[in-house]
Amino acid sequence: MDSEHKLHTLISDKNLSQELKDIALKVSNHQRISFDEGVILYENGELGYLGVLANYIREKKHGDRTYFNRNFHIEPTNLCVYDCKFCSYSRLIKQKEEGWEYTMDEMFDMVKKYDGQPVTEVHIVGGVLPQYDVAFYSELFKKIRQHRPELHIKALTPVEYHYIFKKAKIDYPTGMKLMKDAGLDSIPGGGAEIFHPEIREQIAKDKCNAEQWLQIHEEWHKLGQRSNATMLYGHIEQFWHRVDHMERLRELQDRTAGFQTFIPLKFRNQDNQMSHVPEVSVIEDLRNYAISRIYLDNFDHIKAYWAMISRETAQLSLNFGVDDIDGTLDDTTKIYSMAGAEEQNPAMSTKELVDLIKNIGRHPIERDTLYREITDYKDFVFEEVAKPQFYKLPVIN
Ligand code: SF4
């Protein structure tokens, strides 16, 4: 049964409550659901029901196409002036012996290490420290741009931008223009966490607030540039906080259309100040992907990071609204393993990632950062390779 048929079967199910039927009808008619309906989905939507709705939308937008890209990460430092309670990655400055602070030369050497390799993107994000300022990042971007002009620079979140612009006494429009002129291509989605102050002030109170996060993305979009957005879910927030978070993103996207991808990030409780908070189940992960797909009707893509939620859950997520799967290569990021993710040494070859997508009946496409197709792997036959190629991971900021 195709996704359209499944949706119509569900709508005609006599056992379905009227409120869930109304939402399913809206999805079938390509209508936007309201804030209250988003909360109803979280409170009353069972996994099977949500999967039918989300998969219908996913297949309307992308069919079976499932995207991935090749990138590598640079994490300038794991020290941070902030102290987010969920952060397993940052070490406070007083615990400096556990940290690293890469120099400009060290970071540039990391870029050169990938010379000749088929990566299309460098993803730069890490902790916040005073020496990594506007001048530092401008120079780093310029050096990368000069060295490898075609490499897409996706770097820093509003957490860093807010900090470095404030320190340089420049406003957001001026700052973002400076970054663009230095070579920045796009902004990753991190630092969003949960926007609502009721939660944000408990878990990440000192860094940029929701309005500042959104304003920086808006200024970036006004320059004709693209960015992503995340949501850290499954800790102390309630369902309506998640809907509030997505509502703010949906509202900005209506005005700018600058977001490409929404990335739900699962809270992990290892080695951080919220270790007492239990993690949510795999069922809740899948429900959350599905509701994101249903709610964010103006976002093209929903992404899952397999290294964060396990290969099996990532594979399942492709039937719950996800159309983009982020793999990893070598261990150039430590964000997830330090937070207690299943994959402590995440690495997956191209073939493994392609097989993971194909094994659930989807169609793997390698893309660049802006979702332009690089390789269609539908009928691709892999030769025996002596050395596996690896993919890349994300970063929470
Ligand atoms: S989440 Fe980001 S801003 Fe917060 S402490 Fe960790 S590295 Fe710093």
pLDDT tens for residues 72-118? 999 999 899 999 999 876 666 556 677 899 999 999 999 999 999 88
- pLDDT reading at 340 higher than 60: no
Spatial strand order in the sheet of 65-68: 71-74, 121-124, 152-155, 186-187, 226-233, 259-266, 301-305, 324-326, 65-68, 363-367, 373-376
Residues 29, 153 within the same domain: no
Using one digit for the tens of pLDDT, what is the confidence trace for 10-65?
999 999 999 999 999 999 999 999 999 999 999 999 999 999 999 999 999 999 99
Nearest to 271 by CA among 339, 336, 203, 333: 339
As annotated, the binding site includes: 80, 84, 87
209 CA to middle of ligand 1, Å?
A: 13
Residues 137, 189 within the same domain: yes
Q: Which residue's C-alpha comes closest to atom 4 of ligand 1?
A: 84
Q: Which residue's C-alpha comes closest to atom 1 of ligand 1?
A: 397
Residues 85, 190 within the same domain: yes
Residue 397 has what pLDDT?
A: 47
87 CA to middle of ligand 1, Å?
A: 6
Looking at the domain assignment, is residue 201 inside a domain?
A: yes
Angle, CA of 242, 247 and 251, to the nearest 5°:
155
Q: Per DSSP, which regions of the chain are E strands?
A: 65-68, 71-74, 121-124, 152-155, 186-187, 226-233, 259-266, 301-305, 324-326, 363-367, 373-376
As annotated, the binding site for [4Fe-4S] cluster includes: 80, 84, 87
Ligand 1 lining (C-beta closer than 6 Å): 80, 82-84, 87, 89-90, 127-128, 159, 204, 207, 397
Domain boundary among 61, 76, 110: 61
- pLDDT reading at 327 higher than 60: yes
**Domain of residue 31, residue span:** 3-61
Residues 159, 308 within the same domain: yes
Pocket test for ligand 1, best of 73, 77, 79, 80 (most atoms within 8 A of CB): 80
Residue 331 has what pLDDT?
A: 41
Average confidence score pLDDT of the chain: 91
Q: How many domains is the chain built from?
A: 2
pLDDT band of 329, cuts 50, 70, 90: low
- pLDDT reading at 230 higher than 90: yes
DSSP letter at 193 equals: S
Residues 69, 159 within the same domain: yes
Residues 70, 152 within the same domain: yes
The answer to whether 260 and 370 have CB atoms below 8 angstroms apart is yes
pLDDT band of 309, cuts 50, 70, 90: confident
**What's 96's domain CATH number?**
3.20.20.70
- pLDDT reading at 143 higher than 80: yes
Residues 370, 227 within the same domain: yes
Q: How many CB atoms lie within 10 A of CB 244?
A: 20
Residues 239, 254 within the same domain: yes
Residues 56, 72 within the same domain: no
Residues 150, 295 within the same domain: yes
Q: What is the pTM of this model?
A: 0.92
Residue 98 has what pLDDT?
A: 74
% residues pLDDT > 90 (the chain): 79
Looking at the domain assignment, is residue 44 inside a domain?
A: yes
How many residues in the chain?
Answer: 397
- pLDDT reading at 238 higher than 50: yes
Average of per-residue pLDDT across 250-273: 95
Residue that is written with structure tokens 């620079």 in the block: 153
The answer to whether 88 and 137 have CB atoms below 8 angstroms apart is no
Looking at the domain assignment, is residue 392 inside a domain?
A: no
Residue 352 has what pLDDT?
A: 87
Residues 314, 209 within the same domain: yes
The answer to whether 179 and 142 have CB atoms below 8 angstroms apart is no
Average of per-residue pLDDT across 309-327: 92
Bridge partner list, 366: 68, 375
pLDDT band of 167, cuts 50, 70, 90: very high
Residues 135, 199 within the same domain: yes
368, two tokens: 């660049």
pLDDT band of 389, cuts 50, 70, 90: low
